[in-house]
Amino acid sequence: MSDFDEQAIRAEARAWLEANWSPDLGLVEWRNMLADTGWGMPAWPKEWYGRGLPAGLAPVVEEEFQRIGAVGVARMGIRMLAAATLLEHGSRMHKEKFLRRILTGEDAWCQLFSEPGCGSDLAGATTRAELKGNRWIVNGQKVWTTSAHHAQYGLLLARTDWDAPKHKGLSYFVIDIDQPGVEVYPLRQMNGHASFNQVFLTDAEVAPEFMVGALGEGWKIATTTLMNERRNADSLRRYAQPNFKPGRAYAEERAEIETVMEPYKWYPQRAGRVDLVVERAKATGRNADPTVRQEIAKLLILSKTAEWTARRARAAQAQGRPQGPEGSLGKLIASHVARAAAHVHTLVSGADAMLAGKDGPLDGVIAEILLSVPATSIAGGTDEIQRNIIAERVLKMPKEPRTDTDRPFREVPRNIIS
Ligand SMILES: Cc1cc2nc3c(=O)[nH]c(=O)nc-3n(C[C@H](O)[C@H](O)[C@H](O)COP(=O)(O)OP(=O)(O)OC[C@H]3O[C@@H](n4cnc5c(N)ncnc54)[C@H](O)[C@@H]3O)c2cc1C
């Protein structure tokens, strides 16, 4: 039985917002007020800018923000993975230095995990960090690094011990992106956006106090980051919508959406845009075709069950219950929904779905969906990797035979010379 009364929390949030919110405040000034009072992230601990509410009650507070039209804290993107990881494993100094500025949106973050030779096999990372004097010196290459071109800081997974087994020789760092040893080159995607980058690290420096957790604990800490990434897979459908009302806070948020948040602009399309399907079928008259109707019905059923599964996972989390199978299923279901939605959009729009830009249906949004959906089955762990996790951890099936985990990493055959 929860000690928290939903009605009382709603009333308290409403009263506070009515007394304090003004669109004429500066965005950072307002978000600092949210951090001071905990209303921006009510499920975070009281000590760290939250109110210690169960996660299941956070939507109640969010509804009050929407009712009054108040801007929230900066909550999209890799910064939230940084926050979740630092809340769990960061030192007091890390939390003091980074968490508030994550919420105010003053710092953006990126995740320097994947490399040209390791994505699914993340524990095979070969970017190296060596302690020289009072600095960690980092050399290697990362790829797929979303937002690195806007980020101040990166979550870095690097190898600190080549003689330890694969998973034991990694450490986790916060690295300052703005230094000569870090070069960021955007990559253009097939959907036209350039939201991720390749990042070259050449004698880049990290101060020892910016190691997160202990030496050799990198894999454990990276798992926290990845679990949060996978758990939030269903939130891809949302992307901050600009508010065109007058007021300084709205104007500054619009500028943020246009710049720092720009890499996430296509994320709703990546999730398949199930919300567009029915209206579009009506508008094109394809809703009269019985085969198309059946496919639409199948999609809506799949999407609804995915939503309920995600809600069950959130409810379990709110009640402090350990995550059940629904947590592991969410990411995989999100891929299925996205693919099914792309299929239905092609049935509805026909060959026109291939027209990009202003010539295409919905000003090219349908084409963008088709070109963005494949990302959902790759980012944050591919579908095959999710199936392996479900097989081994949820269904307790025998693990895949491995030859690379019980010997020094130095001796493990790799497809990249390092
Ligand atoms: C939109 C997007 C954003 C991303 N952002 C970031 C980011 O910000 N930071 C970051 O670090 N990374 C990021 N990534 C990278 C992402 O995590 C990797 O692409 C992903 O983990 C897959 O790795 P890979 O590309 O090296 O593919 P590989 O690991 O080479 O996989 C190739 C194929 O082999 C299959 N495969 C591999 N191993 C197995 C196995 N054991 N069993 C069965 N099948 C297997 C895979 O499923 C896949 O189909 C992003 C990716 C995308 C698409």
Q: Note the pLDDT tens digit of each residue in 342-397.
A: 999 999 999 999 999 999 999 999 999 999 999 999 998 999 999 998 999 889 99
Task: Determine whether the shortest distance from the Cβ of 144 to ligand 1 is under 6 A.
Answer: yes
Q: Work out the percent of the chain whose per-residue pLDDT is above 70.
A: 94
- Whether the predicted pLDDT of 55 surpasses 70: yes
Averaged over 67-88, what is the pLDDT?
94
The DSSP secondary-structure symbol of 21 reads -
User: Given ligand 1 and candidates 114, 265, 386, 392, which is best to mutate, with the most ligand atoms within 8 Å of its CB?
Assistant: 114
Give residue 105 CA to ligand 1 midpoint distance, Å: 28
- What does the alpha-carbon distance between residue 160 and residue 166 come to, in Å, rounded to a whole number? 11
In this structure, which residue's CA is closest to atom 38 in ligand 1?
120
In this structure, which residue's CA is closest to atom 18 in ligand 1?
119
How confident is the model at residue 330, as a pLDDT?
Answer: 86
Give residue 381 CA to ligand 1 midpoint distance, Å: 6
Task: Determine whether the shortest distance from the Cβ of 113 to ligand 1 is under 6 A.
Answer: yes
- Whether the predicted pLDDT of 184 surpasses 90: yes
- Strands 128-132, 135-142: pairing is antiparallel
| Residue 292 forms part of a structural domain | yes
φ, ψ of residue 195 to 5 degrees: the values are: -95, -20
Task: Determine whether the shortest distance from the Cβ of 388 to ligand 1 is under 6 A.
Answer: yes
| Residue 335 forms part of a structural domain | yes
| Residue 39 forms part of a structural domain | yes
**Counting atoms of ligand 1 from 1, which one is nearest the CA of 114?**
11
Answer yes or no: are the C-beta atoms of 212 and 173 closer than 8 Å: yes
Confidence of residue 2 (pLDDT cuts 50, 70, 90): low
Task: Determine whether the shortest distance from the Cβ of 125 to ligand 1 is under 6 A.
Answer: no
Residue 403 vs residue 408, higher pLDDT:
408
Cα distances (angstroms) measured from residue 26 to each of 14, 22, 75: 21, 9, 17
Q: Which residues does residue 200 pair with via DSSP β-bridges, in sequence order?
A: 141, 183
| Residue 386 forms part of a structural domain | no
Task: Determine whether the shortest distance from the Cβ of 40 to ligand 1 is under 6 A.
Answer: no
How confident is the model at residue 294, as a pLDDT?
Answer: 98
Answer yes or no: are the C-beta atoms of 170 and 159 closer than 8 Å: yes
| Residue 93 forms part of a structural domain | no
The pLDDT mean for the chain works out to 93
- Whether the predicted pLDDT of 323 surpasses 70: no
Averaged over 315-336, what is the pLDDT?
77
- Whether the predicted pLDDT of 1 surpasses 50: no
User: Given ligand 1 and candidates 81, 126, 197, 378, which is best to mutate, with the most ligand atoms within 8 Å of its CB?
Assistant: 378
**Counting atoms of ligand 1 from 1, which one is nearest the CA of 117?**
26
Boundary residue ending a domain (22, 48, 73): 73
User: Given ligand 1 and candidates 368, 382, 389, which is best to mutate, with the most ligand atoms within 8 Å of its CB?
Assistant: 382
Task: Determine whether the shortest distance from the Cβ of 203 to ligand 1 is under 6 A.
Answer: no
7-21, 209-223, 382-396: least confidently modelled range: 382-396
Answer yes or no: are the C-beta atoms of 238 and 268 closer than 8 Å: yes
3-state SS class at 352: helix
| Residue 19 forms part of a structural domain | yes
| Residue 362 forms part of a structural domain | yes
Residues 198, 387, 166: CA angle, nearest 5 degrees: 55
Averaged over 2-6, what is the pLDDT?
76
pTM of the predicted model as reported, rounded to 2 decimal places: 0.94
Boundary residue ending a domain (44, 73, 102): 73
- Whether the predicted pLDDT of 327 surpasses 70: no
Answer yes or no: are the C-beta atoms of 114 and 143 closer than 8 Å: yes
How confident is the model at residue 46, as a pLDDT?
Answer: 97
- What does the alpha-carbon distance between residue 227 and residue 150 come to, in Å, rounded to a whole number? 24
Task: Determine whether the shortest distance from the Cβ of 108 to ligand 1 is under 6 A.
Answer: no
- What does the alpha-carbon distance between residue 311 and residue 66 come to, in Å, rounded to a whole number? 20
CATH of the domain at 306: 1.20.140
Task: Determine whether the shortest distance from the Cβ of 405 to ligand 1 is under 6 A.
Answer: no
User: Given ligand 1 and candidates 80, 120, 221, 372, which is best to mutate, with the most ligand atoms within 8 Å of its CB?
Assistant: 120
Boundary residue ending a domain (50, 73, 96): 73
Number of domains in the chain: 2
| Residue 406 forms part of a structural domain | no
Task: Determine whether the shortest distance from the Cβ of 48 to ligand 1 is under 6 A.
Answer: no
Domain that holds residue 350: 266-381
- What does the alpha-carbon distance between residue 25 and residue 20 come to, in Å, rounded to a whole number? 10
Averaged over 91-120, what is the pLDDT?
97
- Structural tokens at position 22: 């003004």
Residue that the structure tokens 């929230």 belong to? 72
Averaged over 266-275, what is the pLDDT?
95
In this structure, which residue's CA is closest to atom 29 in ligand 1?
120
How confident is the model at residue 329, as a pLDDT?
Answer: 86
Averaged over 5-27, what is the pLDDT?
97
Residue 369, CB-side half-sphere exposure with 13 Å CA sphere: 30
Residue 314 vs residue 89, higher pLDDT:
89
How confident is the model at residue 237, as a pLDDT?
Answer: 53
In this structure, which residue's CA is closest to atom 23 in ligand 1?
119
Give residue 402 CA to ligand 1 midpoint distance, Å: 19
